[in-house]
Amino acid sequence: MKKILVIEDAQSLRRDIVEMLSFEGYEVVGAEDGLVGIERAREEMPDLIICDIMMPGRDGYGVLEELRSDPATASIPFIFLTARTDRVDVRQGMELGADDYLTKPFTASELLATVNVRIQKRVQLAQYAERRLDDLRENIILALPHELRTPLNVILGFSDLMMSDYAVTEPARMGEMARHINAAALRLYRLIENFLIYANVRILMTSPEQFEALRDRVTYQPKATIESIALQKAEQHQRQGDLSLNVDDVPALRFADEYLRKAVEEVVDNAFKFSNPGTPVQVTAGRDGSWYTIAVIDQGRGMTPEQINSIGAYMQFDRRFYEQQGSGLGLTIAKQLVELYEGALTIQSHPQSGTTVRMTVPVVDQEQL
């Protein structure tokens, strides 16, 4: 049974609304003014709030503003009751976060239609959030154990062989085992590094002082950094011949050097990881006014619009059908880093036709340095 809170100072109208909604199967709680309504909202945690605007003590705008500022009540759907039909009043309510409004007088059918729509929308949003949570759980279950165990098994297996057979193992074989251990350790290191960067960015977003200090940092002559990272990733994937570079330079970017490196690394690595050897991976960069756009283009597996919209931490797609390394943090980290500097990361992709990832970040001219 869905619970509705009705905040209305006119007793007769409040009683009528309570009776109408109760008759339709809702659990309804009433409040006679704004202050009582705020208290009841926090106590009852209703699925929907219906609130008059003009009330003594605390008007509807004040009620909405206070409830929206409280994380516990911020997402509760809110419908205004008003006898004022001026667009300025309606817009003010919507700007504060109201979901809908009803103009007095209203009919029972109008009230029920508005309530049912908002309740249904809340149910749909809850179902969508639950699906996203299920996807997250599934991806963590599939990705993280694999990403942790695989390199650890390599490290433990080859190091055990080296310890037990070192006396009879040829130097070339020892070197080969050491290379396997080193590659596995680097894979594990990257997983830990990505997790720490992801967590650090989330913390930075809640610390205004650190956030502002970080945004003052710049990267000088980004061309060298971008080309260096792209070449390193091509070499790691043994695809130097597939890489095409067309990178223009600018004096500086408002983007910390280590974060530029990480963002480019993750996007370029994905381009190689999700495209076949022998197909091109293009990295271009150039200035457009006060912005600098880095584009990474591949002809790989691609993504659907739904997959693009679902990009997030630990989100990997079709993991059951494709063997792939990674925790699913790469694009999320790149996007968060770019957005820290008021830039944008956009993705254009079509299944089996390739993907283009563009990162746009602000330029710092010589006179601004």
Ordered structural domains, the chain, with CATH: 3-106 (3.40.50.2300), 134-209 (1.10.287.130), 211-368 (3.30.565.10)
**DSSP string covering 157-180:** HHHHHHHHHTTTS-HHHHHHHHHH
Neighbours of 342 (CB within 10 A): 11
Pairing, β 354-364 against β 291-298: antiparallel
For residue 326, the model assigns a pLDDT of 45
Cβ proximity of 327 and 258 under 8 Å: no
Tens of pLDDT along 122-180?
Answer: 888 877 767 766 665 665 556 667 777 888 999 999 999 999 988 888 999 999 999 99
Cβ proximity of 291 and 363 under 8 Å: yes
Tell me the mean pLDDT in the region 351-366.
Answer: 90
Tell me the mean pLDDT in the region 183-202.
Answer: 80
Check residue 206 and report its DSSP letter.
T
For residue 62, the model assigns a pLDDT of 92
Total-model pTM:
0.56
pLDDT band at 353 (very low <50, low <70, confident <90, very high): confident
How far apart are the C-alpha atoms of 101 and 91, rounded to whole Å? 10
Tell me the mean pLDDT in the region 66-81.
Answer: 90
Nearest to 188 by CA among 153, 152, 142, 160: 152
Count Cα neighbours of 359 within 13 Å in the Cβ-side half-sphere: 32
Tens of pLDDT along 41-64?
Answer: 999 999 999 999 888 888 999 999
Nearest to 253 by CA among 329, 334, 193, 342: 342
In 8-82, beta strands by DSSP E = 27-31, 48-52, 78-82
Nearest to 145 by CA among 266, 314, 311: 314
